[in-house]
Amino acid sequence: MKSIQLIYMLWFLCTPLICGTLQAQGKKVELIMEDGTAMKGYAKFYTKSFSYRANENERFKRFKMLDFETIRVFLENNDTKTYKRIKINDHKKPKMLILLVEGPVSLYLEEKQIYSSGYGAGLGVSGNAGQSVGGSSYSYSRLYLKRNKKENATHMSSTSKKKFKAFIKNYFKDCTDLVMKVEEGKYSKKELKEIVEFYNNECK
């Protein structure tokens, strides 16, 4: 029994050390510039920037995320999170968006977190506000659609069911089958990913 307790104590003490080492190393990444030049290494991410080094023998250097065309982050579960620098309609500067679906029409996600240091209000998804005392954080997300043949992406705002149908019917007007499915209620605004996948697989 004592040996089991000792093992648990050692595990508890060692886990922060292991986690600290992994955090110091950073996540495996591939950075791709506009001219196609690729850099592989490790990165630690912040709000709009990250620190990068090619290997353990180098020091971390700070970069802006918008300095790169594509950023691929290799996750622990063998999955990959891909960021793309995308121009947005009615927005002067491009944004780094997370690629959710890639095809003739691509779907992107923007995630942001707002930090509050004291009593105040934070703006969340769909304009939902929250208040805090003593500091807190608020996160919100936005979805964007982009046709490969067009330069800019379009923001898919959180709207009413009626406005959502009107938006989809206009954006995907070249796919009658999809428009009919949305009109019949087979897809809701929560299933935008499935809508884009249907369009890419069945309509193009």
pLDDT at residue 64 in the model: 95
Tokens, residue 153: 């992406």
Residues with Cβ within 8 Å of residue 173, at least 6 apart in sequence: 179
Q: What pLDDT, in 10s, does the model give residues 171-201?
A: 999 999 999 999 898 998 889 999 999 999 9
Decide: residue 156, CB within 10 A, 0-12 exposed, 13-18 middle, 19+ buried: buried
Average pLDDT over residues 116-120: 48
